[in-house]
Amino acid sequence: MIRLSEVQKSFGSNAVLRGVNLEVAKGTSTVVIGGSGTGKSVLLKCILGLVTPDSGRIEVAGKDITTQPRDEFLARFGMLFQGGALFDSLPVWQNVAFRLLRGELKRPKAEARDIAIEKLRRVGLTPDVADRLPAELSGGMQKRVSLARAIAANPEIIFFDEPTTGLDPIMSGVINDLIREIVSEMGATAITITHDMSSVRAIADRVAMLHKGKIRWEGPISEMDASNDPYVDQFIHGRAHGPIETVR
Amino acid sequence: MNALRAVGRAVIMALAIIGRVTIFAADTISHMVRPPFYWREFGVAIMQIGFYSLPVVGLTALFTGGALALQIYSGGARFSAEAVVPQIVAIGMVRELGPVLVGLMIAARVTSSLAAEIATMHVTEQIDALTTLSTNPAKYLTLPRVLAATLVMPILVGIGDVIGILGGFVVGTERLGFNAANYITNTVNFLEFHDVASSLIKGAAFGFIAALMGCYYGMNSGRGAQGVGQATKQSVVAAAVLILAANFILTEAFFSA
């Protein structure tokens, strides 16, 4: 479904991606782990075309992303941003139904609102939040609204960028379970980037570890604990000592 | 050699910025003929940039017109030309002070708010979110604001011109002893269509510059609160300088020879 071949990206002298190779099969949930600043977000942005790679090839459904019509291509995606990225000036339901109120997927306002409320219900929010502004909601509720927006147009592929960052452990668990359920029931292909190991265990079918701009290890979640890779071991057990350099 | 290198670097940076702003402006304009057009955003921008700027424009013009009348009266007294107050207030406000001061006030009020709003959206990934939701940020954010500013600024400048002349009229009649009917007659008879047209055209150009700079620096802001602050500051400075430069060029074009 998604294939990255030798993808490289530098910002000035900072080489973030140094030849990333990764395949994500249709309908699977892959979690990319790695330390802060290892280029996980850049990886997702390269696939979406928000950042242009310096070299390499990215294919979605067998087609090079650079050759596909932009709107048609993006219509296949949903994305949950790290900070939610909800539009401050719009009420919650218009955030959720954003795609349904304009462009090719446009439909009557009442119908778009009904779909938005249905999606809000799906992520555990009651209809009374629909007319509130995002700033009036807690961090966990904002994350849920953002999740509802990501799934509003029933995308084939969903990206989750640090879905549990800034949430308490219970809310993190709720979001993890929601992501797992939604991805399974929609049959969507998912890529999640995180350094929260509880998310990894809850969400992943497969795990890939990004380190120093390359995929260090990739395999099914069931094999992660027995990977025998010292980098993966250090990361998943959160050890301060090991091959991954830490600044103290 | 080091000094030369520094000059060269500054020139290259300036040319690069001019190039980027030109491409940004061309891209924005090109969206005018490429659907969809976001009417709701356009309407909101008309209200934000036009309607809500009326108080600041009115007050600026009123005080400037009044001060201008006082200055011309006392300056004119040096060569017994006090009587030209109505004519000079009219031509000064319409040709020069109206468009320039309204332009600068819009740079302060609108450019800064556009830059801060869009830079915050950039920092909080809302611009990326727009793109992933199949909505072009240039179409959704930039074009409605730039178009609204370009269209409402001539109206704001026209209103500013009238209120500025009114300020001069109030000071002239109440403080300087001019006859009200004569003041109005002198003003109306003196102004030509060309003066008013140049004022409104300047307004459109300044509106375009003010909104474009706000959007450009907002879209290209750095990270964090500092990035938003830098974008806001740079946008207002760039808009103010470009408005003054454009004013000189347009004045030269309209009134030379």
| Domain boundaries defined on chain A | 2-76+155-237
Tell me if residue A205 falls in helix, strand or coil. Answer: coil
Q: Averaged over B156-169, what is the pLDDT?
A: 96
Asked whether the CA dihedral B177, B178, B180, B184 is positive or negative, the reply is negative
pLDDT score recorded for residue B257: 61
pTM over 0.90: no
Q: Averaged over A81-90, what is the pLDDT?
A: 91
Candidates B38, B130, B132; nearest CB to A48:
B132
Which tens digits make up the pLDDT trace of A29-46?
999 998 888 889 899 999
Measured CA to CA in angstroms, residue B54 lies from B30, B58, B155 at distances of 30, 6, 10
A111: pLDDT confidence band, cut at 50, 70 and 90? very high
Nearest chain B alpha carbon to A152: B133
Percent share of chain A, pLDDT over 70: 99
Nearest chain B alpha carbon to A155: B133
Asked if A98's CB is within 8 angstroms of B132's CB, the reply is no
Q: Averaged over A131-135, what is the pLDDT?
A: 94
Candidates A75, A88, A149; nearest CB to B134:
A75
Average pLDDT, chain A: 89
Asked if A86's CB is within 8 angstroms of B131's CB, the reply is no
**In the CATH hierarchy, which top-level class contains the domain A2-76+155-237?**
alpha beta
Strand partners, A33: A194, A209
Other beta carbons within 10 angstroms of residue A225's beta carbon come to: 12
Q: Averaged over B212-232, what is the pLDDT?
A: 95
Q: Which of A46, A50, A39, A81 is nearest to A60 (CA)?
A: A46
Interface contact B222, partner A, CB < 8 A: no
Q: How far off is chain B from A95, nearest CA to CA, in Å?
A: 10
Residue A248 has pLDDT above 60, yes or no: no
Query: Which of A44, A80, A88, A156 has the most B C-beta neighbours within 10 Å, making it the best mutation to test the interface with B?
Result: A88
Give the ipTM of the model, two decimals please. 0.86
pLDDT score recorded for residue A43: 93
A242: pLDDT confidence band, cut at 50, 70 and 90? confident
Tell me if residue A24 falls in helix, strand or coil. Answer: strand
Asked if A74's CB is within 8 angstroms of B133's CB, the reply is yes
Residue of A66 and B236 predicted with greater confidence: B236
Q: Averaged over A125-141, what is the pLDDT?
A: 91
User: Contact at 8 Å (CB) between B50 and B155?
Assistant: yes
Residue A70 has pLDDT above 60, yes or no: yes
| Domain boundaries defined on chain B | 2-255
Cis peptide before B144 (omega within 30 of 0): no
Q: Averaged over A218-247, what is the pLDDT?
A: 85
Query: Which of B125, B134, B141 has the most A C-beta neighbours within 10 Å, making it the best mutation to test the interface with A?
Result: B134
pLDDT score recorded for residue A247: 56
User: Contact at 8 Å (CB) between B31 and B136?
Assistant: yes
Asked if B36's CB is within 8 angstroms of A79's CB, the reply is no
Residue A78 has pLDDT above 60, yes or no: yes
A206: pLDDT confidence band, cut at 50, 70 and 90? very high
Cβ-proximal residues to B213 (8 Å cutoff; 6+ apart), any chain: B107, B111, B115, B235, B236, B238, B239, B242
pLDDT score recorded for residue A124: 85
Residue of A245 and A102 predicted with greater confidence: A102
Interface contact B26, partner A, CB < 8 A: no
Query: Which of A51, A74, A101 has the most B C-beta neighbours within 10 Å, making it the best mutation to test the interface with B?
Result: A74
Which tens digits make up the pLDDT trace of B131-155?
999 899 999 999 999 999 999 999 9
Which tens digits make up the pLDDT trace of A162-185?
888 878 888 888 889 888 888 888
Asked if A79's CB is within 8 angstroms of B134's CB, the reply is no
Which tens digits make up the pLDDT trace of B81-130?
888 899 999 999 999 999 999 999 999 999 999 999 999 999 999 999 99
pLDDT score recorded for residue B89: 94
Chain A contacts to B (CB-CB under 8 A): 45, 48-50, 70-71, 74-75, 77-79, 81-83, 85-88, 98-99, 102-105, 149
B215: pLDDT confidence band, cut at 50, 70 and 90? very high
